[in-house]
Amino acid sequence: MWLFLLFLAVPLIEIALFIQVGGLIGLGPTLLIVVLTAIAGTALVRSQGAQALQGLRNSFDELRDPTEPLAHGAMILFSGALLLTPGFFTDAVGFALLIPGFRNLVLRELRKRIEVQSMVRTERGWQETREDVIDGDYTVEDTPPRSGPSGWTQH
């Protein structure tokens, strides 16, 4: 439901802003602002995207958790899409996502709502890692079955 409201609200906000800004400064300057923000946004997305990619490479090189650089890269990619979409509201949100402090705030809020699970690859495939489970190995010995008590009980 909230996604439907978002798809309904964003175009209405953009139309209202175009009418207000266009009425204030005219059609030509309004269109020029939209084109200039798309060009400036593209340049900023390229430079920040390169920085995010370098941060991701560093996390892999140092064997650190790549979650944060990946999230920053995804937000930069999303900001690029918003900046290429004509409109003042989408440009404002897109430029906000290019500010590292704002991305950190968004990431902090997302972490409150998302449960992260770790997976490890074993011989049997991918398994979820749990802190309350102790991983161990065992071997099966090929010994004939014993007759009589198991030895684990006392008589």
Report the predicted TM-score, pTM, of the whole model to 2 decimal places. Answer: 0.71
Count the residues in the chain: 155
Q: Is the pLDDT of residue 155 over 60?
A: no
* Coil vs helix vs strand at 137: coil
Q: How many CB atoms lie within 10 A of CB 98?
A: 20
pLDDT at 130: 66
* Coil vs helix vs strand at 121: strand
Beta partners for 116? none
pLDDT in tens, 28-39: 999 999 999 999
Q: How confident is the model at residue 109 (pLDDT cuts 50, 70, 90)?
A: very high
Q: Report the Cα–Cα distance between both ends of the chain, in Å, rounded.
A: 68
Q: How many CB atoms lie within 10 A of CB 52?
A: 23
CB 84 within 8 A of CB 41: yes
pLDDT at 135: 67
Structure-token pair, residue 106: 């968004």
Q: How confident is the model at residue 150 (pLDDT cuts 50, 70, 90)?
A: low
* Coil vs helix vs strand at 127: strand
